[in-house]
């Protein structure tokens, strides 16, 4: 992943933001030790951004597409209103024990529902209205996930999609398959009059959209 900010500035921001707590630090460490592709985990700065966004919104229902080991699920669930629920979808069932271990350690096992399976099949079965949706699964299906979730997001609700700059590749003249899908996703939002939106150049790029 491309480093958006000079290393020293990123370190300064990390040092002057709420530090990563012990549960998330341990989850990150265990993910790096035991799971393939640990760079997929949101990490400290994106995690605190997601937590604060969720705390500002105080959602009753959150949908996350792409759990991995549960780092961003924990961050987002920390902002839930009392009695609120976060649904998180992950197709790799082998990750479930690690997720449950850390949902428990974070004291969030009652608020987080891990749904194992293909997001494209599971989303249509969810009969909920969501205040916040975080899209962070297979890049090729971002446009599909946007279409599947849009009708389930309340007016004023937020959709956030991760990795929309794809290490800067979206701005290059030629695109591989994933880059093309992410570029198509960014164009889809640009052409959607039902939202106000902005690409935040944090980490690998977060596309934030508010449903009007
Ligand atoms: C980038 S990781 C998610 C990282 C996590 N949100 C975080 O920030 O810590 C993407 C995850 O999506 C899962 N995934 C990919 N395609 C999927 C699909 N079609 N349905 C459900 N999960 C999928 C992958 O197995 C992987 O664990």
Q: Which two tokens stand for residue 183?
A: 């570029």
Q: Name which residue sits closest to atom 8 of ligand 1, judged by CA.
A: 42
Among all chains, which residue has been given the structure tokens 């933001």? 17
* Average pLDDT, integer, range 66-86: 98
> What's the pTM?
0.98
Q: Which atom of ligand 1 is nearest to the CA of 64?
A: 6
Between the CA of 139 and the centroid of ligand 1 the distance, in Å, is: 9
What is the whole-number distance in angstroms between the Cα of residue 197 and the centre of ligand 1? 23
Give the tokens for residue 37.
């592709």
Centre a 10 Å sphere on the Cβ of residue 80 and count the other Cβ atoms it contains. 23
Ligand 1 proximal residues by C-beta, below 6 Å: 40-42, 66, 68, 71-72, 89-92, 118-120, 136-138
Cα(203)–Cα(193) distance, integer angstroms: 27
Q: Tell whether the model's pLDDT for residue 2 goes beyond 90.
A: no
pLDDT 10s digits, 139-152:
999 999 999 999 99
What is the CATH number assigned to the segment(s) 7-211? 3.40.50.150
Q: Averaged over 94-102, what is the pLDDT?
A: 98
- Model confidence at 4, pLDDT cuts 50, 70, 90, reads confident
Work out the average pLDDT over 54-83: 98
Q: Which long-range contacts (CB under 8 A, 24 or more apart) does 120-129 make?
A: 120/144, 120/145, 120/148, 122/89, 123/63, 123/65, 123/89, 123/148, 123/149, 123/152, 124/148, 126/63, 126/87, 126/152, 128/61, 128/63, 128/87, 128/152, 129/61, 129/153, 129/154, 129/157
Over pLDDT 90: what percentage of the chain? 97
Residue whose structure tokens are 């790029």: 205
User: For the chain, what are the domain ranges?
Assistant: 7-211
Residue 187: pLDDT band with limits 50, 70, 90 = very high
Q: So what's the pLDDT on residue 152? A: 98
CA of 69 to the centre of ligand 1 (A): 9
């Amino acid at each position: 992943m491309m480093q958006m900010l000079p290393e020293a500035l990123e370190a300064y921001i990390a040092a002057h933001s709420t530090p990563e707590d012990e549960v998330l630090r341990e989850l990150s460490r265990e993910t790096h030790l035991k799971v393939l592709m640990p760079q997929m985990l949101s990490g400290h700065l994106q995690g605190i951004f997601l937590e604060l966004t969720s705390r500002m919104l105080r959602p009753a229902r959150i949908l996350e597409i792409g759990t991995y080991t549960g780092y961003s699920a924990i961050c987002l669930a920390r902002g839930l209103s009392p009695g609120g629920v976060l649904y998180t979808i992950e197709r790799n069932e082998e990750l479930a024990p690690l997720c449950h271990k850390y949902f428990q350690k974070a004291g969030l096992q009652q608020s987080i529902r891990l749904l194992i399976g293909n997001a494209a099949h599971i989303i249509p079965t969810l009969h909920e209205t969501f205040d916040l949706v975080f899209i962070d699964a297979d890049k090729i299906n971002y446009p599909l996930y946007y279409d599947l979730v849009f009708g389930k997001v309340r007016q004023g609700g937020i959709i956030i999609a991760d990795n929309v700059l794809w290490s800067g590749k979206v701005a290059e003249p030629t695109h591989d398959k994933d880059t093309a899908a992410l570029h198509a996703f960014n164009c889809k939002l640009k052409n959607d009059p039902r939202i106000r939106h902005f690409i935040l150049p944090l980490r690998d790029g977060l596309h934030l959209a508010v449903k009007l």
